[in-house]
Amino acid sequence: MIRSMFEAFKNLFKPVHTVNYPATELVLPKGYRGLIEYDKEACIFCDKCEKVCPPGAILFYQPLEGEKEYRYNPWLCIYCGECVRACPKPQEALWQSETKQQSALKEDGANEGWFVWEAACKQSREDFKAAKIKNKSEESV
Amino acid sequence: MKKTIQIPLGSQHISLLEPIRFKFECENEKIIGVDADVGFVHRGVELACTRSFEFKQVGYVVARVCGLCAITHSLSYTLAVEKLLGYVANDRIKYLRMLMVELDRIHSHMLCLAHTAENAGFEALFMQIMADRELVMDLQEAISGNRVQFDFIAIGGVNRDLTPELSALIHKNLELLSDKIDTLLGLFDNNWSLSLKYKGVGVLTLDQAYTYNALGPLARAAGLATDVRVETSDFPYEALGYTMVLESTGDIHARNFVRLREILNSIAMCRNIVDNLPSGEIQEKTKGKPSGEAVVRVEAPRGELFYLVRGNGQNMLERVRIKTPTFSAIPAMMEVFKGSEYADAPAILASFDPCMSCTAK
């Protein structure tokens, strides 16, 4: 009892354990799993990252002509790094940075905006397929 | 006229971490009957595993069942799928997986001790243990790259390797932690106000533990020698200095002591793992798709975690069944409440270390 009172008195003069966040920056450890970053120049558009992503945070839009368009939802991402491990050109086309994602605001459209994009991607695939079949049948004629 | 009154505890209550409801049938202050309801945080994880995700992604889904034992969930699932694929991990992978599971056990036990102290009215001790717990959380963050969701274990290995700097950090933090646990042992044993709330309160006898199928620290505090770590041979626990911690009284004090001494045992094992880490690849390619049925048991911090995985050679699994330690321990928990004072109920409940998100999933 006396010892615990002595401890309690000693604790009055100890430094605090907590950090004055956000005034003081948090120190992230080396190798912190942060945002996934992408380089369009190195990408070969194999879609492997899109297929392995557990939450489906990477989606490619397929236009009728030209390159696919990459889109990434940093708020849906779970930062597991599966996409980087699946990438045939890791560290060049796709890599994991140590930056921490800020919270989403309403205008970021983390949910609604992404659902629209998801539907657009699905539709673009179907359109592309239909156009391809149409082209083929026209060629054979 | 009715002699008893019904007092509910939960589903929202100041002493609860997660929603659970107990209906106590009380005679004056004594509890004579208990009714429990646990399904408040149901999220349909089992069905999502078989409908929305391919088997390679499910490991990351089941890790989200519970924030505290994320690593045990993904480990059990991975072991089950590896059994179906006929893949046997090398020693380095096994050791790294064990390291994370044991670190997880340390921080989960510390959280339980902190909450038992808080529910017994000792707020300062709660703060102290939670501050000490940061040592382990920092280690896990440094090893896996994230504080809570580790995503460390994947099918065919682990995602990250242990560097020499990390080994040094592990030794340093565990050294600091083991001193603090020694002081806590003295505090939990000798502090007068804690002994009033803990000693002889919430007793589960050996007979009851056996009859109601108690497991984990709850059973070991009552003297029932049950631990999946010695019953299965998935990991070389015996070689790394595992000793079973047993107490005999079965009250809250005994449960706290089992946890504290298990932490010391886990610290010793972690040190052994880091010192004797074998060389080898940390990730290997697995081939094929799971077909057949596999059952895996892993000792989670709260007891036996049971996984059943059934596949039919497709990318989608047929069935994933998760049976968590808290769910299996509910009959034993309800038995402990009978005969104790209503005022002790929050402390008794915290000493079970119930994990409702695991149970309802």
> What stretches of B34-163 show up as alpha helix (H) in DSSP?
45-51, 55-62, 70-85, 91-119, 123-144
B257 pLDDT above the threshold of 70: yes
Count of CB atoms situated within 10 Å of the CB of A50: 18
Which has the minimum average pLDDT: A27-31, A33-37, B94-98?
A27-31
CB of B146 less than 8 A from some CB of A: yes
**8 Å CB contact of B141 and A4:** no
The pLDDT tens digits for A49-108 are 888 888 888 888 877 777 777 888 888 888 888 888 888 888 888 888 888 777 878 777
A64 vs A127: CA distance, rounded Å: 8
Q: Is the pLDDT of residue A39 over 80?
A: yes
Tell me if A81 and B138 make a contact (CB, 8 A cut-off): no
Cα separation of B347 and B120, whole Å? 5
Residue/partner pairs of B236-239 with CB below 8 Å, 24 or more apart: B236/B91, B236/B94, B236/B98, B237/B98, B237/B269
- Residue pair B136/B110 in contact by the 8 Å Cβ criterion: yes
Residue, of A108 and B50, whose pLDDT is higher:
B50
Q: Mutating which of A3, A52, A80 best tests the B interface, going by the most B Cβ atoms within 10 A?
A: A80
B315 touches chain A (CB under 8 A): no
Residue B60: which of A32, A80, A85 has the nearest Cβ? A80
pLDDT at residue B1 tops 70: no
Comparing CA positions, the residue from B254, B258, B241, B309 lying closest to residue B85 is B309
Q: What's the mean pLDDT in A97-125?
A: 80
Q: In this predicted structure, what is the pLDDT of residue A92?
A: 81
Q: What are B234's two structure tokens?
A: 């998935």
* B183 interface with A at CB cutoff 8 Å: no
Chain A residues in contact with B146 (beta carbon < 8 A): 32-33, 79
For B266, the token pair is 């886990």
SS3 content of chain A, % helix, strand, coil (to 5): 35, 10, 50
Domain ranges in chain B are 5-360
pLDDT of residue A38: 84
Write out the residues of chain A at the interface with chain B, using a CB-CB cutoff of 8 A.
1, 4, 8, 11, 17, 29-33, 52, 54, 78-82, 85
CA B278 to chain CA centroid, Å, is 27
Residues 72-111 of B with CB under 8 A from A: none
For chain B, where are the alpha helices, taking DSSP H only? 45-51, 55-62, 70-85, 91-119, 123-144, 164-190, 192-198, 206-211, 217-221, 228-231, 252-275, 325-337, 345-352, 356-360
Please determine, for residue B10, whether its predicted confidence score (pLDDT) is greater than 60: yes
Contacts of A78 in chain B (CB under 8 A): 60, 149, 151
Contacting residues of A for B191, CB less than 8 Å apart: 4
Bridge partners of residue B5, in order along the sequence = B26
Q: Measure the CA–CA gap between B103 and B174, rounded to whole angstroms.
A: 10
Tell me if B151 and A1 make a contact (CB, 8 A cut-off).
Answer: no
Contact A30 B138 (CB under 8 A): no
From chain B, the residues in CB contact with A11 under 8 A are 124
φ/ψ region of B253 (left if φ > 0, alpha if ψ in -120 to 50, else beta) reads alpha
Residue B156 has pLDDT above 80, yes or no: yes
| Alpha carbon distance B328, B3 (integer Å) | 32
Alpha carbon distance A60, A120 (integer Å): 10
The answer to whether the bond into B74 is cis (omega within 30° of 0) is: no
The single-letter code of the amino acid at B105 is R
Per-residue pLDDT reduced to its tens digit, B85-127: 888 888 888 888 888 889 999 988 999 888 888 887 788 888 8
Contact B141 A33 (CB under 8 A): no
Q: Given B60, B142, B192, which is nearest A29 (Cβ)? A: B142
Dihedral pair phi/psi, residue B235, rounded to 5°: -130, 145
- What does the mean pLDDT of chain A come to? 82
The predicted pLDDT at position B334 comes to 83
Closest-approach residue (CA) in chain B for A98 = B145
Average pLDDT, stretch B32-60? 84
Q: What angle do CA B82, B87, B93 make, to 5 degrees?
A: 85
Q: Residues of A with CB below 8 A from B142's CB? A: 29-31
Q: Which residues of B touch A31 (CB under 8 A)?
A: 142, 145, 160
Are the beta carbons of B192 and A1 separated by less than 8 Å? yes
Confidence of residue B204 (pLDDT cuts 50, 70, 90): confident
d(C-alpha B156, C-alpha A86), whole Å? 14
User: Is the backbone of residue A43 left (phi > 0), alpha (psi -120 to 50) or beta?
Assistant: beta
Cβ of B189 under 8 Å from any chain A Cβ? no
Share of chain A above pLDDT 90, in %: 0
User: Mind telling me how many Å the CA of B263 is from chain A's nearest CA?
Assistant: 22
The answer to whether the complex's ipTM is over 0.85 is no
Fold (topology level) of B5-360: Cytochrome-c3 Hydrogenase; chain B (1.10.645)
Q: Please answer yes or no on whether B145 and A31 come within 8 Å at the CB atom.
A: yes
Task: Spell out the residues 6+ positions from residue B80 whose beta carbon is closer than 8 angstroms to its own.
Answer: B294, B295, B296, B307, B308, B309
Pairwise CB contact (< 8 Å): A80 & B142: no
Per-residue pLDDT band for A141 (boundaries 50, 70, 90) equals low
Question: What domains does chain A contain, in order, with CATH numbers?
Answer: 29-133 (3.30.70.20)
Which uninterrupted H or E stretch holds A70? strand A69-72
The phi, psi pair for B291, rounded to 5°, reads -140, 140
Cα separation, B324 vs B215, whole angstroms: 11
- Which residues of B fall within a CB distance of 8 Å from A79? 145-146, 151
| A29 contacts on B by Cβ (under 8 Å) | 138, 141-142, 145
Q: How far apart are CA A29 and CA B235, in angstroms?
A: 29
Contacts for B28 with CB less than 8 Å, ≥ 6 apart: none
Look at residue B252 in the predicted model and tell me its pLDDT. 86
* Minimum mean pLDDT range among A33-47, B104-118, B166-180, B186-200: B186-200
State pLDDT tens for residues B290-308.
888 889 988 888 888 889 9
Span A40-51, average pLDDT: 83
Is B60's Cβ below 8 Å from some Cβ in A? yes
Residue B179, amino acid: D
Assess contact for B56 and B129: CB atoms under 8 A.
no
Check CB contact under 8 Å for A29 and B192. no
Closest CA to A84 of A27, A139, A34: A34
Residue B161 has pLDDT above 60, yes or no: yes
**Are the beta carbons of A26 and A88 closer than 8 angstroms?**
no
Mutate to test the interface with B, among A30, A33, A52, A77 (most CBs of B within 10 A): A33
Query: Does residue A37 contact residue A28 with C-beta atoms inside 8 Å?
Result: no
As to burial, measured by CB atoms within 10 angstroms (0-12 exposed, 13-18 middle, 19+ buried), residue A47 is middle
Query: Is the pLDDT at A22 greater than 60, yes or no?
Result: yes
The distance from CA B128 to its chain's CA centroid, rounded to whole angstroms, is 21
